[in-house]
Chains A and B, each alone.
Chain A
Amino acid sequence: MSAEVGRRSKRSASPSFRPRLPNTRAVSLSLYVVRRVLWMIPVIFFVVLITFVLMHLAPGSPWDKGGGRQLSQSVVRNLNIKYGLDKPVWQQFLLYVWNAAHFDFGLSYQYEGKTVASLILGGWPYTFTIGALAFCLVVPIGIGLGVLAALRQNTRTDYLTMTFATFGASFPNFVVGMLMIIVFGVLAYNVSGGNVSLPVTGFGLDDHLIMPVITLALLPTAYIARLTRASTLDTLRQEYVRTAWAKGLSERLVVLRHILRNSLIPVATALGPTFALLITGSVIVETVFAIPGIGRSFVTAVESRDYPMILGTTILFSVVIALANLVVDILYVFIDPRVRLD
């Protein structure tokens, strides 16, 4: 199909002629990516807007520290000027957006003199390590269990794996975390006379990681396992699987090329929400295991009404999740050829 470039078409008779791009899938794909990326912008904007508005609805001012220590009026006024809180709300908002685009999220109320950005950056390595490790567990184990359960439907393997998945999805991660602490921290210590146990708090690139990562990974793994099983069962019912057998293909080929290739497509779309689960999960896991990551900073910010910190962290989380969803959406186009790009 030939591409008609604008220049040539100007000579044509029709006055409202638009230059046409070649109608290939590559072009549709690029347009799709661009559209999706552009769509992220209003989403983030509204997230910031809504959260910002909420912060400002909060009763009381940030200077009302609990414990009855009231600051004097002049001090309050100076602080307000310093933090820009004396301007009208919409101005504050625009100012905030401007700063945020430059990665300046203001100063934390809790920690004198520290910027929100620096606090986030400080916590980032911890959160990322645990999250990445958990992700590396979730995907292979979740998918593996799900496929296994589906291929051996209604056998003991199926019931065992799905029971595990259901339990994993039903006990909140703080519960799991604490039960693990009790069993592998306290009990193991008591039973083995102090020899064998896992460290229960803090961070370290060693066995400190075991319990937090497992706790964080549990719920997403269970979710992916259930989803994979359902999707694989659905695929197994499809006629093209029967066609594959009828062609005389070996079990390995049928499973790989026909069953998995199709059943993993819905699972890929679930990776976006999985990512979100990992992020929200990190909030709790870091609290339970006292890991100095962004999640825990968020919790302490909520507890002490540190609004810039709350706002900054919320935006960060939302952006990261939106990015993850974007990546998944784009990847999806590559794995499923039936998708229409308009």
Chain B
Amino acid sequence: MASAVAVPSQLIDWEQPEQIGLWGDAWARFRRNRLAVIGLTIVVLLILDALLAPALVHFGLLIDPLTQDVTHIEVGPGRFGHLLGTDELGRDTLTRLMYGARISLSIGIFVQAIVLVIGGTIGLTAGYVGGRVDNLLMRFTDIWYAFPDLIFVLVLVSVFGPSLLSIFGAIGIVNWVSLARLVRGQVLAIKEKEYVEAARATGSRPLKIVLRHLVPNSLGPIIVTLTFGVPQAIFLEATLSFIGVGIQPPTPTWGQMVNDGYQAVFANPSSVVFPSLAIGLTMLAFTFIGDGLRDALDPRMRR
């Protein structure tokens, strides 16, 4: 057999590995987590409910939550046209539940917005400016962390009264600490990276660089933290309402409904069960979503 001179052959492109973007990958992993999907479904339904409830009342599909059907006080579920029964003033439980969702979701969203603004600003400033400002802010954060959240919220509400604004503000104010620490950590990590130095060498303003790198890198953990903050906020508001210093009647909130139901727990236990389930399921849903997001965005879990 004659010898042949070697000729490099064409490179056979065998199975070039697929490159998927981080977000697409995260979404795929999220979708595979059944609990997270269930959670998301529940939240979507809640949002729809919150948006549509007044419309449904307007079109007569739903009883007005303020209407008192005095002939049918504290009836059980499924009787006299009240799917879930009525409360001690004859108001329909189902519609009050649906209206309560509006409050709970608002609490969740607006409180997290406050948390994002306060915590984000403080974290960003502390991390970016560094030095004594950082030290000072972190001491301040430590002091703030020493307040037990429920206690402080109750204190604030006792001072400023149970208005919507004061409750939103109070809950937001007690919860910004973990977000601030997270943001600060991210900013510090970015500051260390060489590309900040490199960009400064070319004359870009450092703040812009940090922001531009901060957002994509920390968006994931920030979203997860905010998501986990929602059930916390809902819990605090429900507790306030349960004690009686939350959002005042006649605006229905789930915590209030639990409290009212508690008074009548021996006569009509279901009036406690339904709002309790509402609170619990909503908190569960957000917790599942939070878990799902955290697992989906965790870079270590790549197989």
Contact = CB atoms under 8 A, between A and B. Distances in A.
Interface of A: 42-44, 46-47, 51, 54-55, 57-59, 166-167, 169-172, 174-175, 178-179, 181-182, 186-187, 276, 279-280, 283-284, 287-288, 298-299, 302-303, 305, 310, 313-314, 317-318, 321-322, 325
Nearest to A288: B262
A317 B279 contact: no
Contact of A43 (B142, B149, B155, B276): B142
A166 B288 contact: yes
Contact of A321 (B148, B245, B276): B148
A187 B272 CA distance: 14
Interface string B160-190: 1100000000000000000000000000000
Contacts of B291: 166
Contact of A318 (B139, B146, B273): B146
A299 B150 CA distance: 11
B118 interface: no
Given A175-B276, A314-B151, A58 B258 contact: no
B44 interface: no
B148 A318 contact: yes
Contacts of A283: 150-151, 154
Given A43-B143, A172-B283, A178 B151 contact: no
B157 A322 contact: no
B242 interface: yes
Contact of B146 (A169, A174, A313, A321): A321
B12 interface: no
A175 B278 CA distance: 10
A44 B147 CA distance: 10
Interface in B232-261: 235, 238-239, 242-245, 258, 261
Contacts of B143: 42-43, 46-47
B273 A182 contact: yes
Contacts of A182: 265, 269, 272-273
A310 B156 CA distance: 11
Contacts of A46: 143
A178 B146 CA distance: 29
A192 to B, nearest CB: 16
B209 interface: no
29 contacts: A42-B143, A43-B143, A47-B146, A54-B155, A55-B159, A57-B160, A166-B287, A166-B291, A167-B284, A170-B231, A170-B283, A170-B284, A172-B242, A172-B280, A174-B238, A174-B242, A174-B258, A175-B258, A178-B261, A178-B265, A181-B265, A283-B151, A284-B242, A302-B155, A302-B158, A303-B245, A317-B151, A321-B146, A321-B148
B293 to A, nearest CB: 15
B130 to A, nearest CB: 19
A167 to B, nearest CB: 7
Contacts of B279: 171-172, 175
Contacts of B160: 57-58
A58 B158 contact: yes
A42 B142 CA distance: 11
A171 B279 CA distance: 7
Contacts of B59: none
A299 B143 CA distance: 23
**Range of interface residues on chain B?**
35 or more
B14 interface: no
A279 B239 CA distance: 14
B139 to A, nearest CB: 8
Contacts of B269: 182, 186-187
Contacts of A305: 158
Contacts of A57: 159-160
B273 A303 contact: no
B273 A280 contact: no
Given A43-B142, A171-B276, A54 B156 contact: yes
Nearest to A230: B294
A165 to B, nearest CB: 10
Contacts of A42: 139, 143
B280 A170 contact: yes
Nearest to B158: A302
Contact of A178 (B152, B276, B287): B276
Nearest to B270: A182
Interface in B194-253: 231, 235, 238-239, 242-245
Contacts of A179: 272-273, 276
A51 B174 CA distance: 13
A322 B147 CA distance: 9
A322 B245 CA distance: 27
Contacts of A322: 146
A186 B243 contact: no
A171 to B, nearest CB: 4
B34 to A, nearest CB: 11
Nearest to A287: B243
A284 B155 contact: no
Contact of B149 (A59, A186, A280, A310): A280
A279 B154 contact: no
B256 to A, nearest CB: 12
A42 to B, nearest CB: 7
A59 B160 CA distance: 8
Contacts of B155: 51, 54, 302, 310, 314
A167 B277 CA distance: 11
Contacts of B139: 42
